Chains A and B, each alone.
Chain A
Amino acid sequence: MVDSPEQDRVETGDYSDREDADRDGFGPSTVQDDVILELKNLRTYFQTSYGTVKAVDGVSYHVKRGETLGVVGESGSGKSVTALSIMRLIPSPPGYIVGGEVILDGENVLDLSDGEMAKIRGSKVGMILQDPMTALNPVFNIENQVGEAIRIHQDLKGQSLVDKIVHSLRQVRIPAAESRMKDFPHQLSGGMRQRVVGAISISCAPIVLIADEPTTALDVTIQAGYLRLLKEIQAETGVGIIFITHDFGIVAKMCDRVAVMYAGRIVETGDVRQIFNEPSHPYSEALLASVPKLEERTQRLYSIEGQPPPLFDLPPGCPFAPRCEYAQDVCRDAYPVRAEIGPEHTASCWKLLDFDISKADPEELAAAQSVSVTAAAEEQLEEAEAVAD
């Protein structure tokens, strides 16, 4: 039970009455100019008995130092597989990274040997997995698990190792770290376990942190505290965060920029306000309209009919066309090229090109097709090429 405010804070880790604590939002922007991670046209395919599953099919995005990029999509959009590809944790077989580049701090991670990759994984790029409840090993105590990455990557022993572990636990605001680290996962609450997983991921000061839906199933107040913690760590260390989520609330609160994914591709990218104020891809618009709002009474939710397509059997053209309110013939013939809507705001949709295939650059158009285009589109492409010549 709590005795005094001082005791209160030490026992619970609540530092909200500190002068520098910013209660209203997260303070000044932490985004810097240099790009620390860039994906270029990444393709990860899985060979299955159903056929080739094109889980990630030409994904490009980047993260700057101190920036939080939100990757939004439903199950099967490819957002988690993209993250696993960055970490090179794709099981092979059946999965293979078949194309593209992952440039982390200047070097292409896909070119590294397994040994070299192992040195980066967990140290330069950290990952908070989707289910932190099971990410912790129940038979080892916290000290052991937080220390694991440190032992491997930083080769510390004895007191300096212990000091580093305590430092990591303090960074995630776990109170009484020295005694708490002797505990086992089952002795901690859900929120605490979440923080321990966070501590493991930042223990070696990564430059990029990938958080894959870390707050699913957390209580509202615990989630709020955890998100605030991530932002504080970002302000302290300048780490770039890729936040994979399907929850637009998290995007609104946490992210500087957003990439929306559907069926293995990015359909729209932009600044968070651009995405919310001017969602230009029909899928982004539909998704935003299907989420109830807390601040006002929502008259009726928009429901997107149907389901995401099976990734081994994608129809030609835009994979969202069957569920799209705006779809026209060209949408079913060829995958759209990327169009610019505003500064750093792009979306791949024929609506933005007035449904006119001739407005697309032939080379870009050819590159955008992953499956064979229909005869009709092929004809049009040839026509467009002839005109260009």
Chain B
Amino acid sequence: MTTIQEQIQQKEGIQPLDVNAEVILETRGLAKHFELAGGFLGFGNKPTLKAVDGIDVVVRAGETVGLVGESGCGKSTTAKLLLGLEKPTAGQIFFKGEDFTKMSRAAKRDYRKNVQAVFQDPWSSLNPRMRVRAIVSEPLQIVTKMTKGEINTRVDEVLEEVGLNAYQANLYPHEFSGGQRQRIGVARALALNPEVMVLDEPVSALDVSIRAQILNLLVDLQKEHNLAYLMIAHNLATVRYMCHTTAVMYLGSIKEIGDSEPLFSNPLHPYTQALISAALPSHPDIEREEIILPGEVPSPVDPPSGCTFNPRCPVKIGDVCEQWAPGLTEEETRHWVSCHLYGDAKERFAAGEAAPAAAAEDDA
């Protein structure tokens, strides 16, 4: 075994998921529709962009939930909804059992303290005119009543946790490399000691050899603080490494969600299968038969009826797929899929049962 292999063997990856751990974040039927300009002089039909169209996600303490999907699937909008940066059109967000929309202003502030974010771009996410100390102090100054001395102590603490030195707090962001800047972003998110961190593509903008540093940092912090993460990523291998649970999104809805291991080794939804088949191999001898989906992802402004994936689905059953949006069926333990190939909806449809009305239907 080489020195490098030995080193890896001695360290741990993500901790096993505790299904009985406290549920920190939960969404039910969460939806965000954007009304676009249209019609004539403001009258007439305004097209609706259904960015997120009814999703149910649960994030527990110590758990990383991954949201994967291609452009336009709604994963970034979901993150914004959870951070309170967008108001939901429908559905609910629960923080430790409490409905966010029904929270008092004080409770909402408490929520925001506990749901922090690490952004994708380590350049634009840090104010270039602020020194690191100021950047990491800012959330503490805004949300807490800590004294200057307490804040400074906390900043030093948190910088050390992310692998930076206290003296570096006096420098400006441009004096750091991309990986170090991302560490500053993590420090800032960690400063308030949140329960949940929303990680929006935290390593996509970084060099390959630096990604592992940041991913391992996040894994270690999770173990240390029992943090819950909601991670948005498009790299499936990264998701498999980091996430206990994975949700595959397409055009605003979750097509498949479950424990990462069974999901990746046995993908049930045709879209997940296509996504995995198109992913790059980790070794030249690995050959995957690529499932080529016809066309491109349709616009979320006029999504297909029934199952949004039906026009491109290589194994479409028939009318049931066009008229009945499948709900999530738990096909195996902790592995849900939204597809008529599973569950009994297709039999019920054939027997003449009408499809249920769509969950988040807005007024025409």
Contact = CB atoms under 8 A, between A and B. Distances in A.
A248 B9 CA distance: 22
A76 to B, nearest CB: 9
A251 B282 CA distance: 9
Interface in B1-58: 2-5, 7-9, 11-13
A8 B292 CA distance: 13
B296 to A, nearest CB: 6
Interface string A267-302: 000001100100000100111011111110111111
Interface residues of A, number: 60
Contacts of A222: 70, 296
A301 to B, nearest CB: 4
Contact of A294 (B215, B236, B274): B236
A253 B294 contact: no
Given A74-B208, A252-B286, A295-B282, A300 B8 contact: yes
Interface stretch (B106-114, B237-245, B333-341): B237-245
Interface stretch (A9-17, A49-57, A108-116, A355-363): A9-17
B168 interface: no
A292 B241 contact: yes
Residue of B241, B282, B286, B296 with highest tally of chain A CB at under 10 A: B282
Interface stretch (A176-184, A223-231, A377-385): A223-231
A298 B281 contact: no
B236 A304 contact: no
B284 A301 contact: no
Contacts of B285: 273
Contacts of A249: 237, 279-282
A50 to B, nearest CB: 14
B74 to A, nearest CB: 14
B13 A300 contact: yes
A8 B279 CA distance: 24
B70 A298 contact: no
A321 to B, nearest CB: 14
Interface string A185-224: 0000111000000000000000000000000010111111
B144 interface: no
B261 interface: yes
Nearest to B281: A252
B275 interface: yes
B295 A2 contact: yes
A20 interface: no
A19 to B, nearest CB: 15
Contact of A221 (B4, B208, B238, B278): B278
A12 B261 contact: no
A33 interface: no
Given A74-B209, A220-B234, A299 B9 contact: yes
A297 B281 CA distance: 14
A191 to B, nearest CB: 7
B3 A290 contact: no
B276 interface: yes
B70 A221 contact: yes
Contacts of B212: 290-291, 301-304
A2 B294 CA distance: 9
Given A223-B278, A298-B241, A300-B216, A16 B208 contact: no
B241 A14 contact: no
Given A23-B290, A221-B278, A249-B281, 13 more contacts: A25-B287, A220-B279, A221-B274, A223-B280, A228-B290, A246-B207, A251-B284, A291-B212, A299-B9, A300-B216, A303-B213, A325-B4, A326-B3
Interface of B: 2-5, 7-9, 11-13, 70-71, 177, 179, 204, 207-213, 215-216, 234-238, 240-241, 261, 264, 274-276, 278-287, 289-290, 292-296, 311
10 contacts: A2-B311, A11-B295, A16-B292, A217-B204, A221-B274, A253-B284, A293-B237, A301-B8, A301-B212, A302-B8
